[in-house]
Amino acid sequence: MKSPTLHNVLTNLLKVILFVVLFGLIYWQIDSRSSEFNLIEKFQESFSWRQFPFLLAAILLMPVNIFLESTKWRMFVNEFLPDFDIGDALKSMLCGSFFGFISPNRVGEFLGRLKRMPKESRSRSLTAGYWGGLAQFIVTFSFGVYMGGRTIMHYADLKSLDIYTIPFALGIILTSSLVYFNLKWVLSKVSRIGFLNKITIKYPIEYDVPKMKLLLILVVTLFRYLVYVSQYVYLLYFFGVDLPYEVLFSAVGSMLVVHTLFPSVPFIDLGVKGNTLVLILSRHSSNELGMVLAVFTIWIVNIIIPAIVGYYFFISGRKKLN
C-alpha cells in the first residue's frame, strides 16, 4: 500500500479547509440574519399556500438561470475548445459559483471556473470570463439605469433626472459596448501604455469572437438578467410586497446596479442587498420584512444551492478536452 504523498495530503487538506469555509460562511450569514431579523421564524409566519405559486416560479427559474449562464460560458469557450459541451460548461460554471461565494463581490468566480478547464486553455478561459462579465455589466447597468431612472422620476416626486446623470450613464454604456465588441483591438491600443504593456504581454488576447456571436451572447445575457430579476419580483410578491410589477422590476434593477458598482464582501453582501432594496422601496411599502425575506430567499436559491453543488465539482476531477 502506497503512503500518501505530500501533494495528496495538501490537496485533501485544502478540500477540508474549503469545505469549512463554505459552510462556515453559510452558517454565519444565516445565523447573523436570523439573529437580527429572526428570518427563519418570519419565513414560516409569512408562508402562504395562496401565494405559493410565486415561490415555486422563483425556484423553477433557478435552473433556467444556471442554464443560460452556462450557455453563455460555452459560447465563449467553444471558440478555442470545440469539444466543450453544455455539461462541461455547467460544471465549470458551478465551480465558479462556489469560488465566487467565498470571495469578495464574487471576484473569484471566473478563477473557480478555470479549475475545470485544461491548463493550456486557462489563459484564454480567463479572457472569456472577463468578456462574459463585461456583457453582464452592460446589460445590468443599461437596464438598471433606465429602470432606476423611471423609478426616481415617477416615485420620488422628481420632475427630471439630474442633467449630468443620463449623459454619464450613457457614456459608461457606450464605452463598455465599444470595448466588448472590439476587445482585441482595444487591448492592442492599450498595450502601448507603459505598465499596461506588461499585462497585455503576459495575458494576451489569443483569439477573437465574431461580432454576430458577441451580439447573440448579449441577447442570452439579457434573457438571464430578465429571469434573475423576475425571481426577485416573484419572491417579493410571495412575501406580500404588493406593488406594480414595473415598480418592483425597476427597484430590483436599481439594486443590482448599486451592487455592481459598489463591491461588498460575503460577510455583509446579504445585508447590503436587503438594505438597498428597503431604501429604494420604503416610501411605497411598509413591508420591509418582506423585502429582506425576498433577498434572503434568493440568496438561498441562486447562491447557496449552486455553491454547494459547485463545491463537489470543484474538488472532483475533469474529463480531458481537446
Helix axes 6-37, 266-281, angle to 10 degrees: 30
Place of cell 415598480: 247
Question: Does 319 score more than 60 pLDDT?
Answer: no
Calculate the alpha carbon distances from 129 to 51, 57, 226, 238, 256 in Å: 38, 29, 21, 34, 20
Whether residue 291 contacts residue 281, with contact meaning beta carbons closer than 8 Å, is answered with yes
- Cα 181 to its chain centre, rounded Å, is 21
Range of the domain at 135: 6-315
The CA angle 11-13-16, to the nearest 5 degrees, is: 115
Assess if residue 49 is contained within a domain. yes
Query: What is the per-residue pLDDT across 260-284, written as a single tens digit (0 to 9) for each?
Result: 777 655 545 556 666 777 777 877 7
Assess if residue 322 is contained within a domain. no
Which residues, other chains included, contact 57 with Cβ-Cβ below 8 Å and sequence gap of 6+?
230, 231, 234
Q: What pLDDT, on a 0 to 100 scale, did the predictor assign at position 233?
A: 95
Amino acid (1-letter code) at residue 241 = V
Assess if residue 234 is contained within a domain. yes
Percent residues over pLDDT 90 in the chain: 25
Domain tally, the chain: 1
Which residues, other chains included, contact 239 with Cβ-Cβ below 8 Å and sequence gap of 6+?
46, 51, 287, 289, 290, 291, 293, 294, 297
Assess if residue 162 is contained within a domain. yes
Query: What is the per-residue pLDDT across 161-172, written as a single tens digit (0 to 9) for each?
Result: 555 566 777 888
Question: Does 173 score more than 90 pLDDT?
Answer: no
Q: What pLDDT, on a 0 to 100 scale, did the predictor assign at position 201?
A: 47
Q: What pLDDT, on a 0 to 100 scale, did the predictor assign at position 307?
A: 92
Q: What is the pTM of this model?
A: 0.83
182-185 long-range contacts, CB within 8 A, separation 24+: 183/127, 183/131, 183/134, 183/208, 184/208
Assess if residue 160 is contained within a domain. yes
Residue 190: pLDDT band by 50, 70, 90 thresholds?
low
Residue 90: pLDDT band by 50, 70, 90 thresholds?
very high
Assess if residue 115 is contained within a domain. yes
Assess if residue 1 is contained within a domain. no
Query: What is the per-residue pLDDT across 210-265, written as a single tens digit (0 to 9) for each?
Result: 899 999 999 999 999 999 999 999 999 998 888 888 888 888 888 888 877 776 55
Assess if residue 320 is contained within a domain. no
Q: What pLDDT, on a 0 to 100 scale, did the predictor assign at position 192?
A: 61
